Amino acid sequence: MKVNIYYGGRGLLDDPTIYVLNKMEEVLRELRVTVERINIYEHKNEIATLPQTMKDADGIILATTVEWLGIGGYMQQFLDACWLYGDKERIQKTYMQPVVMSTTYGEREGEMTLANAWEILGGLPCSGLCGYVDELVSFEMNQDYTVIIEKKAENLYRTISQKMKSLPTSNLAVKQSVLRTPQMELTPQESEQLSKYVSDDSYVKQQKEDIKELASMFKDMMGKANQDEESAYIEQFRERFTPQPDFHARYLFLLTDKKKPLFVEVNQDNLTISYGQEENIDIYAKLSPEVMESIIAGRMTFQRAFMTGEMTAKGNFKILRMLDSLFSFA
């Protein structure tokens, strides 16, 4: 039999949880149980990989100390890693005994949190141990407390060796019917590999740099696309402009698939052309970019596009007919 102990405290000398774990470890070793203790704080940069250490364990002890509120950051990160990267099939066969000691208020809530989390993960529950310690020396000297601790260790051994069953709880029902946290369907091998990548700072840093570089590249491409969109057709209109004496008109071309309309103003030999909304328009024309490109390429005239219905317009039609004279694309 093998039991792993995951300690989620800070490793302080006066931490009562360490004393409790030492006593439990002594009992388990006397019962010829292989015990491996993992101090989570010593693996704070690789917590995501710790669930993989449960592979060959028949049972585990999750132990932490309540110093002010809750089970502590290290233990919470470990449980998060079990949820995200743990082998759920293996967890379903693993017994867990929660051990929570407190130097303030909240040991019972802490024990309940660990038990609930393990049940939601699908693991097998085992009767836990919790207590409040005001003064460590008197706690260690109290023989009654020592007996209670030893009995809890023996209880864990019996539970695992006899593969004791327990009644179903609502936590599993909540997981199946209410909990909707999206999870990737990964094999145990893929979960293990992913946890290694997540805990590899250099890999994560490189990924962030790659994402930043891609974002910058796409931003530049989008900027260039927007710039190209706001300069489309302008140069061709300027090159083919033929001034008309005593003529003034304002055109607005509404091009489908483009955010801004193309504004063209002719005032004798002056041409103003840009993208954007304008007022006091003489001719509103609506056409597709494909039709505009055909006109610019000389395959079609503005008049023909209007007559065939490929371009719609409203306004003064005498001014509309002047487009082919103003811009000699044909």
pLDDT at 203: 67
The maximal CA–CA distance of the chain, rounded, in angstroms, is 113
The Cα–Cα gap between 223 and 185 comes to 37
Q: Is the pTM of this model over 0.95?
A: no
The Cα–Cα gap between 265 and 322 comes to 12
Q: Which residues contact 112 (CB under 8 A, 6 or more apart)?
A: none
Amino acid sitting at position 123? G
Q: Give the residue among 252, 256, 274 at the shortest CA–CA distance from 323.
A: 252
How would you label 228-241 residue by residue, b for 16+ Cβ within 10 Å and e otherwise? Answer: eeeebbeebbeeeb
Amino acid sitting at position 268? Q
pLDDT at 16: 96
The Cα–Cα gap between 61 and 39 comes to 12
Dihedral angle computed from the Cα positions of residues 4, 10, 15 and 19, in that order, rounded to the nearest 10 degrees = 20
The Cα–Cα gap between 97 and 124 comes to 9
Per-residue pLDDT tens digits for 112-154: 999 999 999 999 989 999 999 999 999 999 999 999 999 999 9
The Cα–Cα gap between 288 and 255 comes to 5
Question: What three-state secondary structure class fits 10?
Answer: coil
What is the domain class of 234-326 according to CATH? alpha beta
**Residue percentage of the chain with pLDDT more than 70:** 87
Domain boundaries, the chain: 2-199, 200-229, 234-326
pLDDT-wise least confident of 78-82, 110-114, 177-181, 211-215 = 177-181
Categorize the per-residue pLDDT at 52 as very low, low, confident or very high, splitting at 50, 70 and 90.
Answer: very high
Pick the CATH number of 2-199 from 1.20.1440.130, 3.40.50.360, 3.40.630.90, 3.70.10.10: 3.40.50.360
